[in-house]
């Protein structure tokens, strides 16, 4: 059985192409839910791809109110442009472009967090570019309930793209060689929805070696409003 820290550390990493996902310490891999013949495929989208991320200055160093509309209810967030300008500029740009519309939240860590933002629903998708460096990672590696942060590939602080995760219970995420994870906002409403998703657990046909998988009930982002 994997240690708790190693298991947690694996969830917020992006898959590199077709290679199995690995945590910074243990080399555990996950099952690709979309490739499992026993599962109905998650919805996928084909959004526009872009050559480069928006400039960090587009965050305007201000707070942004976001409503993430899903098939199971609305989740509201506030994004802090002064704390993580590149992450916020990136999210606001993609949201306004409709990049997230119709995408599935493809990975759940029961009792901890939900990962979203991949149009391919496999862990490999993104906006056509990657960016870095890591911004505003907690020094103690603790991500409190309500945290909104960017997913990335292991040991690579320049690999962030469109995928993000929503934390609904305090969770330690050990830093790797690149550091921690870019925290760019907090959840202000809909925590009960996330907790219900977490309580539903992972689809048993999708559980990987790291204990994560797609939510038992599909979670689809139908729209994102940014103010």
The DSSP-derived string for 167-226 is: ESS-EE---BTTB---EEEEEEE-HHHHHHHHHH-B-TTS--TTS-BSBSS--BEEEEEE
- The overall average pLDDT reported for the chain is 88
pLDDT of the residue at 163: 98
CA-CA distance, 24 to 108, in Å (whole number)?
19
DSSP, collapsed to helix, strand or coil, labels residue 33 as helix
pLDDT tens readout for residues 70-96? 999 999 999 999 999 999 999 999 999
Segment 99-120 mean pLDDT:
97
Tokens in use for 69?
Answer: 């509309």
DSSP state letter for 7 = H
Cα-to-chain-centroid distance, residue 37: 24
Contact 43, 63 (CB under 8 A): no
Q: Give the model's pLDDT for residue 216.
A: 96
**Cα gap 113→122, rounded to integer Å:** 17
The stretch 205-217 carries a mean pLDDT of: 93
pLDDT exceeds 70 at position 183: yes
**Distance in angstroms (rounded) separating the CA atoms of residues 219 and 200:** 11
CA atoms of 145 and 111, how far apart (whole Å)? 10
Angstrom distance (rounded) from CA 101 to CA 47 = 9
């Amino acid at each position: 059985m994997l240690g708790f820290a190693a298991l947690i550390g694996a969830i917020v990493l992006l898959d590199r192409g077709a290679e199995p996902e690995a945590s910074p310490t243990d080399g555990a891999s996950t099952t690709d839910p979309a490739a499992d013949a026993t599962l109905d495929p998650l919805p996928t989208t084909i959004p526009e791809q872009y050559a480069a991320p928006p400039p960090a200055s587009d965050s305007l160093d201000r707070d942004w109110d976001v409503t993430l509309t899903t098939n199971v209810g609305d989740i509201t967030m506030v994004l802090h442009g002064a704390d993580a300008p590149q992450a916020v500029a990136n999210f606001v740009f993609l949201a306004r472009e409709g990049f997230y519309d119709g995408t599935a939240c493809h990975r759940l860590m029961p009792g901890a967090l939900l990962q979203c933002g991949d149009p391919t629903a496999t862990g490999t998708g993104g906006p056509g570019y990657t960016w870095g460096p890591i911004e505003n990672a907690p020094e103690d590696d603790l991500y409190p309930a309500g945290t909104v942060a960017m997913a990335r590939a292991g040991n690579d602080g320049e690999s962030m793209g469109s995928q993000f995760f929503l934390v609904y219970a305090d969770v330690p995420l050990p830093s790797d060689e690149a550091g921690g994870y870019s925290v760019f906002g907090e959840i202000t409403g809909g925590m009960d929805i996330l907790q219900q998703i977490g309580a539903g657990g992972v689809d048993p046909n999708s559980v990987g070696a790291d204990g994560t998988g797609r939510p038992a009930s599909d979670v689809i982002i139908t729209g994102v409003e940014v103010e």
